[in-house]
Amino acid sequence: MPYRFVFYFLIISNQVLAQLPGLNIKRATSAITIDGNMDEAAWQEADAAGHFKQLFPFDSSYAKAPTEIRMTYDDHFIYIYGVMHNLGARKYVTPSLKRDYRGPGIDGLSITIDTYQDRTNGFLFGVNAYGVQREGLIANGGSNGGDDLNLSWDNKWFSETKMLADSWVCEIAIPFKTIRFKEGITQWHINFYRIDSHYNEQSTWSPFPRGYSPTSLAFSRDLNWDKPLGHPGGNVSVIPYLAAKNIDNFQEKLPTDRSISVGGDAKISVGPALNLDLTVNPDFSQVEVDQQVTNLSRFEIFYPEKRQFFLENADLFASFGAGNMRPFFSRRIGVTRDPSTGQNIQNQIYGGARLSGKINNNWRIGLLTMQAAKDDAINLPSTNYTVAAVQRKIFARSNIGLMMINKQTFQDSSATDFKIMPNKYNRLVGIDYNLASKNNRWSGKAFYHRSFTQDKKDSAYASTVAFTYNKPNIEIDLTVQTVGANYDPQVGYVPRKRFNRVSPELYYSWYPKSTLINNHGPGFDLDIIGNDLHGTTDWDFNIWYKIAFQNTSNFFIRLRRDYVYLFSAFDPSRSGGLEIVTGNEFYYNSVIAFFQSNARRRLNFSLQTRSGEYFNGHRVNLDGNISYRIQPHAIISVDFSLNRINLPSPYKSANLILVSPKLDFTFTRKLFWTTFIQYNNQNNNININSRLQWRFKPASDLFLVYTDNYFAEDQFKENIQYYSGQPKLRAIVLKFTYWLNL
């Protein structure tokens, strides 16, 4: 059945969209100084992009407040000057002065750049009215908004902003070496979008149908260079680090680890569009800890990648698979779980290399290899991870890709002597087709993956066909999946095996002429899962209604009916109680509601509740976030998840509490302090993470990071009594990184 959809995908991939006039960019006739002033002659001579159209709240009119963008360049930089007009004096919204801001109510200008005109992969650079920068990588055409925009990517560029009486302005310089492009090309694709908090308006230079993300590359226009671009020149960057650590493991009663580590990364251009990344003894201690969640499912939680080395061209590897089935999940490398604390910890990596990028407009390649160290404390052997991927663009915005993964275990008898264990490996081969029509209405995925182990078992495959049809007032989704009983992607992520799944979804929305409601409408979805042993094992049916308000608030309510057949024993409270035995089946009903308040307000919040039947008992849940901006320097926020689970005797009821207060304080645009506390009684852990970051030069930092873990509740384990408040693990790290261009 899945393969019947592939031919249809091929037909609808090449739909045509009319192209609007582009923007001409000419070489600067005078030197440009990045000071926020448009006083150079080159700016007066540059063509201007204006007449921005609204994307939100409507898409049928021009923006209330005009925006004008000019561009020029020289041998080393692309320059952008933006004038964001207002209709009189006003104030602006920013969450803080910290980099990589995100949100619908923040005054800012963003630029999307598609250097290969494939409308699939691109770069985003943005700056807000307070001069705060953000940069990111756009994958999969940007059609899924925030899901396809990775703001963890970091690079060197420059900007200045000024607030004037009736406008704010920005001046930006992006080094040619920061982005990848083909020598001799005469056009890029580009777009600009502005968020205006005062008029609650999102507007774009190239018009978008409402309902689509402004990061989508499907609607970009041409940027026309006055002459073919030359080679950007050799680009070699070295990013060494020095880290001093003090680690106390109280739970294991280990001696204090006082150590100094040295390592670093190198970025080497191999032609204008291929990049070779090297790393030696990388250290990720400065990365912010994961935000914990309460897990009431029977399966593993998926956490996103945040480490810088794995991010550039990450989609080339990570986009294989879909949703909850990924053949490659980079967090399997260099991160493992400490069984004593239940927390993710760093697994040392000896070194690694990644070659990735474009060969030409149609071909992308990626090759990654990493050697992770053994860890005797948790019986983890040294392991090599090698991944190869190749992707070919077809039709307008679609592509087909092939991936090969090899995980090979080593037995290292000394620090320098490695011996391959030939009968201990895990391998995978996969082919993926990614659908994206030119007009952005059709998107989808079809793939087949197969894993290989030394056991040589059958039924070691996974396949999916999924597609989405999306117009402003209707969205239709269908997913069909099958996973074999012995599918084993050890470097990937798959929460369960041996199942077949069918999941349709339909959503309709109306756009009334209203000053209160932007759009609203009903929807339904159905998810059916089963296998050859037990027939249908799970299904859920949902009917729901969404309301999006003009002030950026959102409301959602869902009525849900669940069926679960337990093919393995399970404790619904996930608190160590008596498990319900295999073979039981349950039908239960619940209601789910969500509300997100006006994001432009200093005090904003989101609340979600789920109440109703739950397996053989009842569950009442409240999740949420409350945030307050002390503009422009700080955000005080609290995330929380409260679950009351009532089960009949002899099963264990539970009150599961997860509370996470956080303080984000920005002294300046270069000095940031973040403190994050997490209380989680499900994991019996209190975690404190405090990080001070000084960005003394672009992409060069000094970090001071303090981490502490305590028991949240009394516990008796392995003949040892642990008490609430008793420390588990404490660490303090001082780390210096410096970005050096050679």
Q: Is pLDDT above 80 for 10?
A: no
Which has the minimum average pLDDT: 244-248, 296-300, 430-434, 609-613?
296-300
685 in Cβ contact with 341 (< 8 Å): yes
Please state, for a pLDDT cut of 70, what percent of the chain lies above it: 92
Can you give the length of the chain in residues? 742
Give the model's pLDDT for residue 15: 41
Average pLDDT estimate for 611-640:
95
614 in Cβ contact with 592 (< 8 Å): no
Instruction: Name the DSSP letter for residue 652.
Output: P
Give the model's pLDDT for residue 12: 42
Q: Which residue has the tokens 């994206």?
A: 436
pLDDT band of 3, cuts 50, 70, 90: very low
Query: What span, in angstroms and rounded, lies between the C-alpha atoms of 660 and 345?
Result: 19
Average pLDDT estimate for 254-271:
89
Q: What angle do CA 361, 362, 365 make, to 5 degrees?
A: 100
Q: Is pLDDT above 60 for 5?
A: no
Which has the minimum average pLDDT: 455-459, 488-492, 524-528?
455-459
Query: What span, in angstroms and rounded, lies between the C-alpha atoms of 551 and 554?
Result: 9
Give the model's pLDDT for residue 637: 96
Give the model's pLDDT for residue 312: 67
Q: Going by C-beta distance under 8 Å and a sequence separation of 6 or more, which residues neighbour residue 4?
A: none
**What is the per-residue pLDDT across 342-387, written as a single tens digit (0 to 9) for each?**
556 778 899 999 998 888 888 999 999 999 988 877 777 889 999 9
**What is the per-residue pLDDT across 700-739, written as a single tens digit (0 to 9) for each?**
999 999 999 999 887 777 667 777 889 988 999 999 999 9
pLDDT band of 155, cuts 50, 70, 90: confident
Q: Which residue has the higher pLDDT, 151 or 643?
A: 643
Give the model's pLDDT for residue 141: 83
Domains of the chain from N-terminus onward: 4-225 (2.60.40.1190), 235-262+667-742 (no CATH), 273-498 (no CATH)
Q: Is pLDDT above 80 for 276?
A: yes
Give the model's pLDDT for residue 9: 44
What is the sign, positive or negative, of the torsion defined by CA atoms of 30, 31, 37, 43? Answer: positive
DSSP output for 242-301: EEEEEEEETTTTPPPEEEEEEEEEEEEESSSSEEEEEEES---TTSPPPPP----SSSPP
**Mean of pLDDT over the chain:** 88
In three state form, how does the secondary structure of 450-517 look?
EEEECCCCCCCEEEEEEEEEEECCEEEEEEEEEECCCCCCCCCECCCCCEEEEEEEEEECECCCCCCE
pLDDT band of 1, cuts 50, 70, 90: very low
Average pLDDT estimate for 163-173:
95
Query: What span, in angstroms and rounded, lies between the C-alpha atoms of 57 and 40?
Result: 36
Average pLDDT estimate for 82-103:
90
Query: What span, in angstroms and rounded, lies between the C-alpha atoms of 724 and 699?
Result: 40
Which has the minimum average pLDDT: 298-307, 319-328, 515-524, 676-685?
298-307
Q: Which residue has the higher pLDDT, 662 or 104?
A: 662
pLDDT band of 209, cuts 50, 70, 90: confident
Give the model's pLDDT for residue 397: 87
Please state, for a pLDDT cut of 90, what percent of the chain lies above it: 62
